[in-house]
Amino acid sequence: MKILVVEDDQQVARQIETSLKNAGYVVEVVHDGEEGLYLGCNESFDAVILDLGLPKIDGIKVLQQWRNENRDMPVLILTARDTWREKVVGLRAGADDYLSKPFEIEEVLARVEALIRRATGHGNPVLSCGSVEFDTTSNRVTNNGTTVELTALELGMLSYLMHHKGEVISKSELTEHIYDQDFDRDSNVIEVLVNRLRNKLGASLIKTHRGLGYQLVDPDDS
């Protein structure tokens, strides 16, 4: 899952970036509203963490422009402006959640998890497909109740497919949402990851749609 962080305080940005990456997210960080606006309009993100007090373009204006451009990714606002009026302005501009500074990083992570679940139609933090369960709060994967150890990339792919269960996801979309920018995006890595997940979780869990992409399916429905 890919997160955009738009935060001008570099220490705060590093703290958020490190925690998100440790939790398995792909993270892109920028430090002003102009860059944030551009990325939010031109790239795909599963969620955005947006500070309001940004240089160049204010966070509220950035958010309003995203929504005017029909960019519907969930947005968590971070701000030192802890008044109810500021919260109302942010929510009415299109924010999905609001967190005041200073904050506990665990709360940021929990709110991001919840935003992504809601945006993809999942209320329960434990996602399931057949006998496979993925706990989004602990990143624990089980198959028939037995814990399955996955690499970071395998977990990233499974998480994205689980959140989009039943949808056909293109190879390029998977690449964008599970790889860091600096990762060597070899052309056959997606196929390798799919085969690894099939070997660990069941061959019928991921269906290949030739020329289109991959689909997570309940084996009972396939």
**Which amino acid, one-letter code, is at 187?**
S
Report whether 58 contacts 38 (CB < 8 A): no
Helix (H, G, I), strand (E, B) or coil at 190: helix
Report whether 52 contacts 63 (CB < 8 A): no
Extract the tokens encoding 82.
């802890």
Tell me the sheet residues that pair with 127: 134
pLDDT in tens, the chain (222 residues): 999 999 999 999 999 999 999 998 999 999 999 999 999 999 999 999 999 999 999 999 999 999 999 999 999 999 887 677 888 888 899 999 999 989 999 999 999 999 999 998 888 889 999 999 999 988 999 999 999 999 988 999 999 999 999 999 999 899 888 886 655 555 688 999 999 999 999 999 999 999 999 999 987 765
DSSP string over 62-103: HHHHHHHTT----EEEEES--SHHHHHHHHHTT-SEEEESS-
Q: What is the CATH number that goes with domain 126-216?
A: 1.10.10.10
Extract the tokens encoding 214.
């991959």
Question: In the chain, where are the structural domains located?
Answer: 2-119, 126-216
**Structural domain 2-119, CATH architecture:** 3-Layer(aba) Sandwich (3.40)
Domains 2-119 and 126-216 share a fold: no
Closest CA to 126 of 111, 112, 139: 139
